[in-house]
């Protein structure tokens, strides 16, 4: 990975951290609008970060570990409260993992 890509990825992580802190700050706010906007921004930045990591990792498997660290740091709370709708395709994928790979 070239230095400029590395710094770009580090900047993305820093930006996600800032948005995450804003989410915490507005967590108890009466306005769901602010919280929703920050959640959307965090998700967009996170998607972009994962794409950047996958495309600029020189096909190293260690990048999956970095993505795992990222998810554990920035999405641990969301994952603990996660529930899919019964007809959601992601629920079907989750079921396959649980049934076949747990």
Q: What is the pLDDT of residues 13-32, one digit of tens each?
A: 999 999 999 998 887 777 78
pLDDT interval class at 102 (50, 70, 90): confident
Kindly state the tokens that stand for 66.
């970095």
pTM of the predicted model, to two decimals? 0.85
Alpha helices in the chain (DSSP H): 3-25, 32-55, 62-74, 76-80, 89-101
Sign, Cα dihedral of 18, 24, 30, 31: positive
pLDDT interval class at 86 (50, 70, 90): confident
Q: Report the percent of the chain where pLDDT is more than 70.
A: 100
Kindly state the tokens that stand for 7.
């710094």
């Amino acid at each position: 990975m070239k230095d400029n890509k590395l710094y770009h990825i580090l900047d993305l992580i820093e930006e996600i951290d800032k948005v995450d802190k804003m989410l915490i700050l507005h967590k108890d706010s009466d306005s769901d609008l602010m919280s929703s906007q920050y959640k959307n921004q965090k998700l967009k930045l996170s998607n972009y970060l994962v794409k950047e990591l996958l495309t600029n990792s020189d096909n190293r498997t260690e990048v999956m570990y970095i993505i795992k660290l990222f998810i554990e740091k920035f999405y641990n709370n969301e994952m603990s409260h996660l529930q899919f709708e019964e007809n959601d395709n992601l629920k079907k994928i989750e079921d396959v993992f649980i049934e076949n790979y747990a």
